């Protein structure tokens, strides 16, 4: 439906320009005849419109990719600092230093390890990584769609 609206608007604009240039007679008895290159003009306008939309999508998706990369960088620094300040690395190092006592008190060790994980920060980091992957996928698809499209009317 949207494509038809765009085509109708383009046809209206071309016909309006032709009236302004007095290419179409305003007499009621004369049936207006479109110029020979009307099809070319309409298809050319559609192609220009689609190209502009593709460039806008690429620009917006590029901004999304850059912002999500910046967010991943900031959130990964935050997660690492939260892991070190919460004692998570100390509990993990205990696993390597005193393995037998960790196995003997595994349930307490496991609960302490779970409590020291900054879950909200990790969730934000994972959300940002998923958003980066989604925006990168769409950006690559948009590039490939633009490179596969061949110009019919040049």
pLDDT in tens, the chain (154 residues): 577 777 778 877 877 777 766 655 555 555 667 778 888 888 888 888 988 998 999 999 999 999 999 999 999 999 999 999 998 988 888 888 888 888 888 888 899 889 999 999 999 999 999 999 999 999 999 988 877 765 555 4
The answer to whether 139 and 58 are in contact (CB under 8 A) is yes
Whether 99 is in a domain gets the answer yes
In a domain, 123, yes or no: yes
Distances (CA, A) of 52 to 4, 19, 49, 57, 133: 17, 27, 5, 9, 24
- Predicted local confidence at residue 143, as pLDDT: 86
Domain range enclosing 98: 2-23+36-148
Contact indicator for 65, 129 with CB cutoff of 8 Å: no
Determine the distance from the C-alpha atom of residue 133 to the mean position of all C-alpha atoms in its chain, rounded to a whole number. 9
15 in a domain, yes or no?
yes
Count other Cβ atoms within 10 Å, centred on residue 41. 18
pLDDT in tens, 63-85: 999 999 999 999 999 999 999 99
Give me the number of domains the chain comprises: 1
Is position 117 within any domain?
Answer: yes
Q: 98 is written with which tokens?
A: 């005193």
Q: What is the DSSP letter of 151?
A: P
Residue 50 lies in a domain: yes
Q: How far apart are CA 74 and CA 128, in angstroms?
A: 10
Q: For residue 122, is it within any domain? A: yes
Residue 153, in any domain of the structure: no
In this structure, is residue 154 part of a structural domain? no
**The whole model's pTM is what?**
0.68
Q: At what angle do helices 2-20 and 38-86 cross, to 10 degrees?
A: 130
């Amino acid at each position: 439906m949207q494509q038809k609206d765009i085509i109708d608007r383009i046809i209206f604009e071309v016909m309006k320009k032709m009236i302004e240039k007095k290419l179409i007679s305003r007499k009621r008895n004369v049936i207006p005849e479109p110029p020979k290159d009307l099809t070319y003009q309409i298809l050319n306008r559609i192609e220009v419109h689609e190209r502009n939309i593709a460039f806008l999508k690429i620009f917006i998706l590029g901004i999304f990719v850059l912002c999500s990369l910046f967010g991943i960088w900031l959130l990964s620094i935050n997660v690492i600092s939260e892991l070190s300040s919460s004692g998570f690395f100390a509990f993990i190092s205990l696993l390597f230093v005193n393995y037998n006592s960790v196995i003997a008190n595994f349930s307490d060790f496991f609960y302490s390890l779970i409590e020291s994980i900054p879950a909200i920060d990790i969730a934000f980091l994972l959300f940002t990584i998923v958003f980066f992957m989604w925006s990168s996928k769409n950006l690559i698809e948009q590039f490939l769609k633009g490179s596969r499209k061949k110009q019919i009317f040049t």
